[in-house]
Structure 1
Amino acid sequence: MKLENILLRLVFVISALLLMQCSNNRKAQLNYKNVLKVENDSIDLGNIKLSDSLRITYKLSNISSNQKIRIKSVGTSCGCSKAYFSDSTISPVSSEILRVSFFSTDKGNFNKTIVLETDSEPIYKVLTFYDKLE
């Protein structure tokens, strides 16, 4: 009877240690999230004239040390702007330039947005540019 108790306790302790190890591995995996940093996520263009065509750039940086970031999609708030980049994958500790072209069509103040969907934290990154058209 004593031997059975000892074996049962030993199995319980080993099981508990294995569960703790699995939990620690999961926590370690969660700590290695890939993070996308944008140098200036809101740009004031100043005053521009009607029918001007502008090019705006955003520097996107992968500040994680071990995982690539993939840009899944890019959307703009209107047909007057178009966003494009040369590579949809940003290597660890690297940067990529997002280029936006904008053609002004109406007078008045405006605020335009670009939404990036990525596999980083957070999943969505919202960039803006704004101005007053004269």
Structure 2
Amino acid sequence: MVNFKQLIIFIVATILTIFLSLKAKNWYHNKNYSKILFEKTEISMDTIITQKQAEIFFNYKNIGNKSLKIFRIETSCGCTIPTFNTKLILPNKEDRFKVRYERVNKGFFTKELIVYSNSITSPDRLVISGFVPFD
């Protein structure tokens, strides 16, 4: 009977220890993070006649409580060129980055951008689309 009591106490203590360590980990993680929130994750450029019309901006905000940094932005094609700020974005601050589409390819297009940052949501997927008329 004594061995059974000791076994029950050991099991309860082990479960309690695991539960408390998971709670502590979640508490710490939720207290120190950056999180990027995009105003839009997909933007249609509609019909692009001039190169100026082939430039758009993705607006975003750091809704975390730690500074946000974008490390790089990869695109699905060399015709999609992002220009972004490499400085830290403080918590609750907003910023934006420009994306230019080179209109050498005619017809409909859909291009993907992957944003790598220190956000807990990274990598983030963005999409641009539009149409370049055939001359």
How would you bin the TM-score normalised by the shorter chain?
0.7 to 0.9
The alignment covers a number of residue pairs equal to 118
TM-score norm. by structure 1 comes to 0.74
Take 2:23 and 2:40, find their aligned partners in 1: how far apart are those partners? 36
Shift of 1:30: 2.1
Q: Which has the higher strand share?
A: 1
What's the RMSD between the two structures over aligned residues? 2.3
What residue in structure 1 maps to residue 72 of structure 2?
73
Gaps of 5+ in 2: 1-9
- 2:119 alignment partner in structure 1: 120
Mapped to 2, the partners of 1:92 and 1:34 lie a distance apart of 7
Q: Are the equivalent residues in 2 in contact too, given 1:83–1:101 (CA < 8 A)? A: yes
Tell me the TM-score normalized by structure 2.
0.74
Off by >3 Å, runs of 4+ in structure 1: 19-24
Aligned to 2:51: 52
Aligned to 1:109: 108
Q: SS of the counterpart of 1:128?
A: strand
Give the conservation status (yes or no) of the 8 Å contact 1:68–1:92: yes
Return 5+ residue gaps in structure 1 as ranges: 1-11
Distance in 2 of aligned mates of 1:71 and 1:86: 7
Q: Which has the larger radius of gyration?
A: 1
